[in-house]
Amino acid sequence: MYVLCSPCILNPELRANGITKSSDLVLFERAKERCKKFNIEMIPLPCPETLYLGSDRMPGTFLERLNTEEFINLLDLLAEEVQELIKQRGPPVCIIGVNSSPACGATTTYYGSEGENPPKKKGRGVFLKKFPEIMVMDVATFSQYYVYLAAPLFSEAERAYNICIAGDMQKNFFDVYLPQLAGDDSDIRNNEEQVLIFSNNLRALESADIIVAIIDGADADSGTAWEMGYAFARGKQVIALRTDFRRSGTYEKVNLMLEESATVVTSTSHLLDAIKSPLRMKYDS
């Protein structure tokens, strides 16, 4: 199992002078951590900009610096090399691109100004467009993979369901924190144990990229509701899974405050789409 990736994720020195921020390096490291955790090999694509302009280069758009017959021919040659690799190894999980890059942008690229249009436009960079059959993710999206699963855990059925949902996310390369597996699964505990569980769960909430909350039932579990509210206040993405077909109002699937602070989905399949599984993301040209 492997991914193809923009080469600067593994070697930031390949980027144009002055564009790499510390936040970029954090994203690159987290993408590498995700691949390491799930035993996904990272194979760098060739860097057409470095091959054409050299490593010591200033930033520029495709139209400014790269819109030449020589560069287009280079792209074709490099794409043939990559296709040969894919033929030998089979298709990758995805390509991890770096948004705004003229060559390796995933969903946005600095293509250049045409008329009154801005230089940055939606779509892939000119190199990644050579692989329309392969799904592309921006490194910022791929690096968001630590999930806190907030859910009721007071019966065997609830705990089994939570493990099932966590397993589905893990199969899609998400690292899932499940409170019931961290000791929060019993009413027989002293105050010291309660403080420790609270602290551990709070720390996991703070670290999570995404909070997935299970909100089935006539009313959402109180602990789950607290975790959702805390995550929303901290500006984190909250995805709420409600498979229960009962409604709490004409326009509400569940409590108004919970629904408006989260993206509500109604199936595991939709949940995996919402958290942007690399195995399920749709092609974005």
Let me know if residue 281 belongs to a domain: no
Indicate the pTM of the whole model. Answer: 0.87
Instruction: Count Cα atoms within 13 angstroms, Cβ side, for 94.
Output: 23
Residue 280 included in any domain: no
* pLDDT value for 101: 93
Q: What pLDDT band is residue 166 in, cutting at 50, 70 and 90?
A: very high
Is residue 282 included in any domain, yes or no?
A: no
Kindly state whether residues 229 and 100 are assigned to the same domain.
Answer: no
152 and 196 assigned to the same domain: yes
Which tokens belong to 57? 């280069």
Decide which of 127, 142, 157 is a domain's last residue: 142
Q: What is the pLDDT of residue 281?
A: 66
Tell me if 101 is assigned to some domain: yes
**φ and ψ at residue 209, rounded to 5 degrees:** -80, -35
Domain boundary among 125, 142, 159: 142
Looking at residue 172, its pLDDT comes to 95
Tell me, yes or no, whether 283 lies in a domain: no
Same domain, 84 and 171: no
Give the tens place of pLDDT for each residue, 100-144: 999 999 999 998 888 778 888 999 999 999 999 999 999 999 999
Residue 152 pLDDT greater than 50, yes or no: yes
Give the residue with greater pLDDT, 63 vs 186: 63
Within this chain, do residues 53 and 127 fall inside the same structural domain, yes or no? Answer: yes
Q: Based on the domain organization, do 204 and 82 belong to the same domain?
A: no
Do 114 and 161 lie in one domain? The reply is: no
Tell me, yes or no, whether 56 lies in a domain: yes
The pLDDT of residue 33:
97
- The last residue of a domain, from among 123, 142, 161: 142
Identify whether residues 137 and 162 lie together within a single domain: no
- CATH number of the domain where residue 176 is located: 3.40.50.450
How many domains does the chain contain in total? 2
Q: Are residues 211 and 154 in the same domain?
A: yes
How is residue 126 written in tokens? 């000119």
In a domain, 218, yes or no: yes
Whether 210 and 130 share a structural domain: no
Do 6 and 123 lie in a common domain? yes
Q: How many CB atoms lie within 10 A of CB 177?
A: 20
| In-domain check, residue 104 | yes
Q: Domain of 131?
A: 2-142
In this structure, are 83 and 181 located in the same domain?
A: no
Q: What digits encode the pLDDT tens for the residues 232-280? A: 999 999 999 988 776 665 556 677 778 888 889 989 999 999 999 998 7
CA distance 171 to 39: 12
pLDDT at 86: 96
Same domain, 71 and 104: yes
Per-residue pLDDT reduced to its tens digit, 176-225: 999 988 776 666 677 788 888 888 999 999 999 999 999 887 778 888 99
